[in-house]
Chain A
Amino acid sequence: MPAGRRGPAAQSARRPPPLLPLLLLCVLGAPRAGSGAHTAVISPQDPTLLIGSSLQATCSVHGDPPGATAEGLYWTLNGRRLPPELSRVLNTSTLALALANLNGSRQQSGDNLVCHARDGSILAGSCLYVGLPPEKPFNISCWSKNMKDLTCRWTPGAHGETFLHTNYSLKYKLRWYGQDNTCEEYHTVGPHSCHIPKDLALFTPYEIWVEATNRLGSARSDVLTLDILDVVTTDPPPDVHVSRVGGLEDQLSVRWVSPPALKDFLFQAKYQIRYRVEDSVDWKVVDDVSNQTSCRLAGLKPGTVYFVQVRCNPFGIYGSKKAGIWSEWSHPTAASTPRSERPGPGGGACEPRGGEPSSGPVRRELKQFLGWLKKHAYCSNLSFRLYDQWRAWMQKSHKTRNQVGRRDPSPSPLPTGPAR
């Protein structure tokens, strides 16, 4: 059984029909005198029903000449012909319909149940509203921008799907006195939100709730009690600048300005910084930047572009003890760390490029090895010239050892002949 207060009886829950100008006459179902045409009336007209319930409807034909018959009439629902076994002829001019276990309405303007003559022409129609009463809205959250307004958001009960148009109304009043007020600016930050732009009191709590109403009933959320000062947020910090720290290749300095709208009140503002490498989606967050307007980021990669954002939490305004609400992040600001000048990972020159190698299996293998090194190691400028210089040095040092100590036949540290 759906929760919430039930409205008028479901079977015929029909509000007084809205007014239409007189000129919109010739409503289907009104017989036209002397026209020779048959028309009909469907009963009930525009019923509202619970999902899963049944409907008994009739189509009564009348016309000129009299004696219109129900033989040959048939029903459609949303354009689809209903099986004949659902219908039966009650009398010569009335065709009945029995629908069971109704599904939720396909469109908010109502499902179109139509009675047709044998030739397919439309004799009458009625719109069915099949759905659920609203469930209790919940999860109301509110925030005030710079203590000037109040925006609230909520979650509709039953995930919002009632199959009927459901009206949500945000109400508020001062806790100990005052009348109920109704918020008027809806859908400001999503479908279930409302904005109160002005005339809000500070230092006194408000009671806020949401009422949901549709053709089948209404429901009311729990009441949220809050003080505007406990839910203050503000604009992102303006003028965020990111710069290098001298030549330090792993650091950047971030500076910003306190949000101007609350600058006279922000005695205890907290800030948060987040940054990421240019081509990454992963942000790193620096917390606990309390009440300062600058910070130094360290441990960064040299020669890398970073995007940086800052946000502010104006907690403690007028002595509020609550946590406060973070602002939006500032627009991203970018800066790059200086390139590293030391050799090693990320580049340092090894040697200038040398000449081309000569032929030979050792040198061919060495060429392949050097190619691999260039791709996978950090020393990008290895060359055959370097290798030849090393060979020359090895041969020289080998001769020297031979001259100095023939009795010390230490093997050469590296082979001098072709590799096996």
Chain B
Amino acid sequence: MSRREGSLEAPQADSSVSLLPHLEAKIRQTHSLAHLLTKYAEQLLQEYVQLQGDPFGLPGFSPPRLPVAGLSAPAPSHAGLPVHERLRLDAAALAALPPLLDAVRRRQAELNPRAPRLLRRLEDAARQARALGAAVEALLAALGAANRGPRAEPPAAAAAATSASAASGVFPAKVLGLRVCGLYREWLSRTEGDLGQLLPGGPA
């Protein structure tokens, strides 16, 4: 792998010769997966807004971009970080998304019980986020840039999975679900872009 800005340090030279083609293949594969999942995320978002009713699907609809505890949108500074740092943030976001998507699915099962396709998409999205997150982490490990130690469950996500109730109106729940689906799409798109920079012939 030639050295270029944003690329990861290759492993030891004597083993890198045999590893690099395999690694490159994995990068391509993971990048393709991210690309595909980004498309699915678009479809999920469209289906979601349609089922919540207007004004959710209307152009110009702009609900407050409320923060979701445990997950924020990619920061503007994200693009300026070293690629391994970006991928770590991508992996962390992808790990935080599944419990959020599950919570949205449970709520939508009450609000839109006759929308099996939406519910299935939300279920698939949680599974796909896990899969892509695991693939990104595997790449980071292969590149020697993974986090050391066991991967801890993101604290907010763990709280989400086990915490007691909080009352929430239907409209806020719809808005929050929209926010989560939007974050899902943003982080997938971000991951796709970051992986693209690792590809041979990526931007210098």
Contact = CB atoms under 8 A, between A and B. Distances in A.
B114 A165 contact: yes
A20 interface: yes
What class of interface size applies to chain B in its complex with A?
35 or more
A21 B159 contact: yes
Contacts of A108: 111-114
A107 B115 CA distance: 11
B51 interface: yes
A28 interface: yes
Contacts of A20: 103, 107, 165-168, 173
A397 interface: no
Interface string B115-152: 00000000000000000000000000000000000000
A112 B53 contact: yes
Interface residues of A, number: 36
B67 interface: yes
B23 interface: no
Given A20-B166, A22-B159, A26-B67, A78 B173 contact: no
Contact of A23 (B159, B165, B175): B159
Interface string A44-58: 011000000000000
A22 B171 contact: no
A76 interface: yes
B31 interface: no
A80 B100 CA distance: 30
B54 interface: yes
Contact of A24 (B51, B54, B64, B68): B68
Nearest to A105: B53
A114 interface: yes
Contacts, number: 133
Nearest to B96: A23
Interface string A1-27: 000000000000000011111111111
Interface stretch (A67-75, A119-127, A249-257, A402-410): A119-127
B163 interface: yes
B64 A122 contact: yes
Interface in A229-265: none
B79 interface: no
A46 B168 CA distance: 10
A161 interface: no
A190 B5 CA distance: 60
Nearest to A24: B176
Interface string B80-124: 000000000000000000011001001100111110000000000
B52 interface: yes
A188 interface: no
Contact of B103 (A24, A80, A114, A121): A24
Interface string A98-135: 00000000111111111000000110111100000000
B1 interface: no
Contacts of A124: 171
B174 A79 contact: no
Contacts of B114: 108, 165
B66 A26 contact: yes
A23 B70 contact: yes
B50 to A, nearest CB: 9
B204 to A, nearest CB: 40
Interface in A116-169: 121-122, 124-127, 165, 167
A302 interface: no
B36 interface: no
A262 B164 CA distance: 55
Interface of B: 51-56, 58, 61-64, 66-70, 99-100, 103, 106-107, 110-114, 156-157, 159-161, 163-176
Given A20-B103, A23-B160, A109-B52, 10 more contacts: A19-B165, A20-B168, A21-B159, A21-B166, A24-B168, A28-B171, A28-B175, A78-B53, A109-B111, A122-B64
8 contacts: A21-B103, A26-B67, A45-B169, A109-B53, A112-B54, A122-B64, A125-B172, A167-B113
Ordered nearest first, which 4 A-B pairs have the shortest CB separation?
A125-B171, A79-B55, A79-B54, A21-B160
Interface of A: 17-29, 45-46, 76, 78-80, 106-114, 121-122, 124-127, 165, 167
